[in-house]
Amino acid sequence: MTSIHQIEPGRPIRLSDISTRGEDYYEGSKETAEIEFKALRDEFTELQPRLYAEDKQKLLIVLQANDAGGKDSTIRKVTRGVNPQGVHVTSFKTPSKEELAHDFLWRVHKAVPAKGMIGIFNRSHYEDVLIVRVHNLVPESVWRPRYEHINQFEKLLTDSGTTILKFYLHISKEEQKERFQARLDDPTKHWKFSLEDLEKRKLWDDYMVAFEDMINRCTTVYAPWYVIPADQKWYRNLAITRAIVDTLKQMNPQYPQNEADLNNLVIT
């Protein structure tokens, strides 16, 4: 099933034309959405052990968003109840000295999921066409060729048995303001706020251009982007879980058949 949020390769989009509000895409109530979400999450928890036991296919989930876009909470909500033995989350922060000594994909390639695993990237290789571009960390002659490098890298992964799901969590500037303020109003959430967030917020328009280029240049048949309306967390969780479950059903992992007949075996 193709999601209404899946971007079609070759058809450029404008993020300003896409609503950030999930209620624009869902006719039911929030309560109905929560029921559907939990049912889908139960399916996820049933499909994931099959993928792990089969030990043949791999699933990579990429999450990108502006600050306060909800990447962390998405991971917590969507993977609740999933066996952590078969899921690995990687958060890509500022590259270390060792990582900077290699090509920009070096640290990413090390983190891609192995057979039977689900890998989740909280930020990703796309930071190297986002933050480095907006903050002029490297010249354009360096970051612009990376779009094609990324496409080739993701083609390598898919040719090697990795299914890729890429989600851009699309929030409005107004919603970001409310989430930042909520963090400031709650002392237990001060750790989630940095003054650097305000400096990045001043560059909102530049980031939106960079995200738009990221989506348009790196949506391929084998690794399309999904633009997920994320102002309402309940819809964000529903849309992402629906896409994951639909993908796992298409992958159709199966428990392996044991070579020996164990039906009549009795432990003594």
User: Cα 254 from chain centroid?
Assistant: 24
Length of the chain: 268
How many secondary structure helices (H) and strands (E) does the chain include? 11, 5
Whole-model pTM? Answer: 0.95
- CA 88, 216, 57, 159 dihedral sign is negative
> What is the structure's pLDDT at 240?
98
Q: pLDDT tens across 103-155, in order?
A: 999 999 999 999 999 999 999 999 999 999 999 999 999 999 999 999 999 99
> What is the structure's pLDDT at 263?
74
Token couple for 266: 């009795």
Q: pLDDT tens across 206-263, in order?
A: 999 999 999 999 999 999 999 999 999 999 999 999 999 999 999 999 999 876 666 7
**pLDDT tier, 268 (very low <50, low <70, confident <90, very high otherwise):** confident
pLDDT at residue 1 tops 70? no
Rounded distance, CA 172 to CA 169, Å? 10
> What is the structure's pLDDT at 128?
98
Which domains are present in the chain? 15-251 (3.40.50.300)
Whether the CB-CB separation of 74 and 236 falls below 8 Å is answered with yes
